[in-house]
Amino acid sequence: MDSCQAAADRIRGARRVIAFTGAGVSVESGIPSFRGKTGLWSRYDPECLNIDRFLRSPEQTWPVIRDIFYDYFGQARPNDAHRILSEWERDGLIAGIITQNIDNLHFDAGSRVVHEFHGNSRTLVCLRCGARRLAADTDLHAIPPLCPICGGLLKPDFVFFGEAIPEPARTQAFDEAELADLFLLIGTTGEVGPANLIPRIAKRNGAYIVEINPEPSLYTGSITDIHLAGGAAEIMRKLDELVR
Ligand SMILES: [Zn+2]
């Protein structure tokens, strides 16, 4: 049987499907990935996202952060993969999404249950008083941007290297790894921990694993039951036709 058809049948027959997404789902929205030969880390120093470095010299790291996450990500729009996942949630085909992305594109596409394991770039948090504000309402050319309430340093509301995974996303993600009977991995290769533990825990709890990635990943051949080779939007369009 065609593997797309087999995956669609599994999705339709599952009790609780969770989509687990990574950088690959946003590539077709124009957001480059961090890793790999043409990834952002080949052009920028990942140390600018180290929390100690940021706290020590925010005036050096903020311009780089602004370049990558605001001037650049700010232009991105959801693609068919985001759109179809949002429709599947509306139609009861998936229970929700766990994403490692910080680009807000699942929410932009209309998804409502999105556990953002690494936080979100759209908001900034004041490291002194804890107030949150939209990056879009903040002058990011003031280096570093400061909290208008207390004057404290503002930090993007996503996880820096050396920081803990935010709650409640962390707990919700690990709970889903126990509840779901099908995990749909999209555009994530399993290199980044601790997020990469979630599908493995789901598998141990009996979940069926469908993987969408252009190339085999660390999940393929270890926990994946069906690997659909291709881009996220292309494969999701195919599945969407078959699942209806
Ligand atoms: Zn403040």
pTM for this one?
A: 0.94
Residue 193 pLDDT > 80: yes
Ligand 1 mean position, distance from CA 169 (Å): 23
Among 106, 118, 141, 227, the one annotated catalytic: 118
Dist. CA 132 → ligand 1 center (Å) = 8
118 is catalytic: yes
pLDDT of residue 91: 97
The DSSP annotation for the chain comes to: --HHHHHHHHHHH-S-EEEEE-GGGTGGGT---SSSTTSGGGTS-GGGGBHHHHHH-HHHHHHHHIIIIIIIGGG----HHHHHHHHHHHTTS-SEEEE---S-HHHHTT---EEETTEEEEEEEETTT--EEEGGGS-TTSSS-B-TTT-PBEEEEEPPBT-PPPTTHHHHHHHHHHH-SEEEEES--S-STTTTHHHHHHHHTT-EEEEEESS--SSTTTT-SEEEES-HHHHHHHHHHHH-
> What residue type is 40 in one-letter code?
L
Q: What is the residue type of 136? A: A
Exposure string of 71-101, with b = 16+ CB inside 10 Å and e = fewer, is eebeebebbbbbbbbbebbeeebbbbbbbbb
* Average pLDDT for the chain: 94
pLDDT band at 1 (very low <50, low <70, confident <90, very high): low
Q: Is the pLDDT of residue 234 over 90?
A: yes
Q: How far is the CA of 135 from the centre of ligand 1 (A)?
A: 14
Strands 226-229 and 208-213 come out as parallel
- CA 21 – CA 24 distance, rounded (Å): 8
77-120: pLDDT as tens digits = 999 999 999 999 999 999 999 999 999 999 999 999 999 999 99
- Residues composing the chain: 244
The predicted structure's pLDDT at residue 71: 80
What pLDDT was estimated at residue 38?
76
Q: What pLDDT sits at residue 42?
A: 84
Q: What is the rounded distance in angstroms from the CA atom of residue 26 to the CA atom of residue 199?
A: 19
Distance separating alpha carbons of residues 217 and 233, to the nearest angstrom: 18
**Residue listed under structure tokens 């994403």:** 99
Residue 145 has pLDDT above 70, yes or no: yes
pLDDT above 70 as % of the chain:
99
What are the pLDDT digits (tens) for 17-52? 999 999 999 999 988 777 777 788 888 888 889 999
pLDDT at 30: 87
Find the 153 Cα to ligand 1 centroid distance in Å: 7
Q: Is the pLDDT of residue 152 over 70?
A: yes
